Amino acid sequence: MTTCSAPGKVYLFGEHAVVYGEPAVPCAVERRARVTAEPRSDDRVQVDARDLSLDGFTVTWGGSVDDRPDVDAPPGLVEAAMRYVDEAVAQTRDAVGDPDQGFDITVESDIPLGAGLGSSAAVVVAAIKAATSAVGVDLPPEAVADRAFRAEYEAQDGQASRADTFCSAVGGAVRVEGDDTRRLSAPSLPFVIGYDGGAGDTGELVAGVRDLRERHGFAADTVAAIGDLTRTGESLLAEADAEGLDDDHLDALGELMDVDHGLLSALGVSARSLDEMVWTAREAGATGAKLTGAGGGGCVVALDPTDATETALSLAPACEHAFRAELATEGVRIESE
């Protein structure tokens, strides 16, 4: 039996544009998913995911989402959870060279589902690392990231990027541009996260941006502008890491975050609750604030070294929960075995 954990993430810059080959800079944060895997003597997979807002979701199946369980939870949420775990198990079986290896898997998570904090990527990364380790196969973080991306790619019908899974596997701040993935030199940033209690439909939002981009040249230009902005932000992070993070760096990074949020809003992926939280953060003194993830609901991320933004968000009607999150310098890790 092996337990592994993997962090969630926020996007500092680049979500949605990364789908079209532009760079993105996600940062791992210390909100973690934990997965325990124990090999079985048969080919069955039993998953206990009571902490994933699935109202006691415990199900046994043999590796196919066609056999949908009868549980008291939204069908789409159950099927999505099954699909991610199915694909993680498929990648594990391929990695260990045994197509019939079964597992008992327990999933716990501090990361809200569908909120833009990389919950699915963290679960898949932790599951692959835990399951392979449980049968004696030691995959390095980069190999876990690659297999986790393949699992998400299948689960999301080809709409996944490498950003979430690579960030969760290796930790820290990372740069993703197509298949080019690497860690960045970056200081620890004063992240404050606001959560509206909801979740956007990632597939629908990605499809909406694709349709807009195909119909209007200005939308394609907006996507390219997000890429240019991300490259500027990447240079600022390196400078702040080399010189030491100061108010000037925070102001410059925050300004880019504000512009990025405006560009994402222009692409139609924000929501009233997200905009309200962004403005609450800015008015409280955050140097910048933006949505993080697919949008449509979920989370915003702000930069503020003081307590003012967290306090303001916690009192805002649009915000269900506000919290500070440290940069997770370590990615996937074994907690016990």
Q: How many CB atoms lie within 10 A of CB 209?
A: 23
Residues of the chain with CATH 3.30.230.10: 2-185
Q: What is the pLDDT of residue 159?
A: 67
Q: How many CB atoms lie within 10 A of CB 58?
A: 13
pLDDT tens-digit profile of 8-46?
999 999 999 998 999 999 999 999 989 999 999 988 888
Average pLDDT, the chain: 87
**CA 277 to CA 299: how far, in whole Å?**
9
Q: What is the pLDDT of residue 312?
A: 97
Q: What are phi and psi of 310, to 5 degrees?
A: -60, -45
Instruction: Tell whether domain 2-185 is in CATH 3.30.230.10.
Output: yes
**CA 11 to CA 25: how far, in whole Å?**
6
Rg of the chain over all Cα atoms, to the nearest angstrom: 19
pLDDT tens-digit profile of 276-294?
999 999 999 999 999 998 8
Options 3.90.1530.10, 3.30.420.40, 3.50.50.60, 3.30.70.890; CATH of 191-325: 3.30.70.890
Lookup: tokens for 42: 């048969």
Helices (H), 244-284: 247-266, 272-284
Residue 199 confidence class, pLDDT cut points 50, 70, 90: confident
pLDDT of 62 higher than 70 = no
pLDDT tens-digit profile of 236-273?
999 999 999 999 999 999 999 999 999 999 999 999 99
pTM, full prediction? 0.86
Residue 152 confidence class, pLDDT cut points 50, 70, 90: confident
Q: Which candidate, 110, 286, 284, 75, places its Cα nearest to that of 195?
A: 110
Could you give the residue numbers annotated as active site?
164
pLDDT tens-digit profile of 74-124?
455 556 667 777 888 899 999 999 998 988 888 888 887 767 788 888 989
